[in-house]
Amino acid sequence: MAFNLNSQPCPRKPPHWTPTFAFITRSRAILYSTSAHIAAQVVGPQGKVIAFEPDPLNVELLRHNVARYHLSNVIVAQVAISDTNGIAAFNSDGSLGSALTLALSRPSTHETIEVRPVTFETACAEFGVPSFVKIDAEGAEIEIPSGAKTFLQSHPIHFVLDTSHMRDGHTTHTAVEDLLKGCGYKDVSDFDSGGFMTTWASPYA
């Protein structure tokens, strides 16, 4: 879950480069501890992982798993990452489908609540600039780079994004690719081993 800084074109596999500080935003696997375990091990005991999860139902499970597996280098932040700071409607399902309402075309199966969204730049100001970011935002992966264009142009960060979600009848990978290319990133999208459209992106050297 990283990138070789010198590979051309943008690599799909991460055999050489090791991040020391990672962000995870709504990773589906982290609720089962897989992503937290992997990220915590990859960054090492001196590294740090910030896991962003706005759904209060999911946060409870996430914090339980972080404590259960003694992931001392994982910090849970109960906020959403979007293109604005403030308050936003959120479909709180307590499941993998929980998401910002703006990114969904379906009603909540549980309830719609208000959550605190922050921009990627604001998150970096609060927690530090990561070397690697894993994003699964259930469709809101478009808003994350959209609200941080200038910031991303001057901060080289490596990304992997789940871009299999539907927005306006299309998967999000094309919109995400265009946004990141506009920020000076090289990227490629393809299906991962689980069959999900995934976008890998890294800054040009």
- CATH number, domain at 157? 3.40.50.150
Classify residue 36: in a domain, yes or no. Answer: yes
Sign of CA dihedral 35, 2, 71, 115: negative
Q: For residue 180, give both structure tokens.
A: 């990141």
Longest dimension (CA), the chain: 46
pTM above 0.75, yes or no: yes
Number of domains in the chain: 1
Classify residue 2: in a domain, yes or no. Answer: no
Whole-angstrom Cα distance, residue 200 to residue 189?
6
Q: What is the pLDDT of residue 98?
A: 77
Per-residue pLDDT of the chain (205 residues; tens, 9 = 90+): 232 222 333 444 444 445 566 677 654 333 323 466 677 777 777 888 888 988 888 888 889 888 988 888 888 999 999 999 999 998 887 666 777 877 776 665 678 889 999 999 999 999 988 888 899 888 899 999 999 999 999 998 999 999 998 888 899 999 999 999 999 999 999 987 778 899 999 998 6
Classify residue 176: in a domain, yes or no. Answer: yes
Exposed, middle or buried, 106 (CB in 10 Å: 0-12/13-18/19+)?
exposed
Classify residue 71: in a domain, yes or no. Answer: yes
What domain range is 182 assigned to? Answer: 21-203
187 and 180 Cβ atoms separated by less than 8 Å: yes
Question: Which residue, among 205, 153, 147, has the nearest Cα to 181 in the 3D structure?
Answer: 153
Q: What is the pLDDT of residue 159?
A: 92
Whole-angstrom Cα distance, residue 14 to residue 44?
16
* Residue that is written with structure tokens 């050489």 in the block: 16
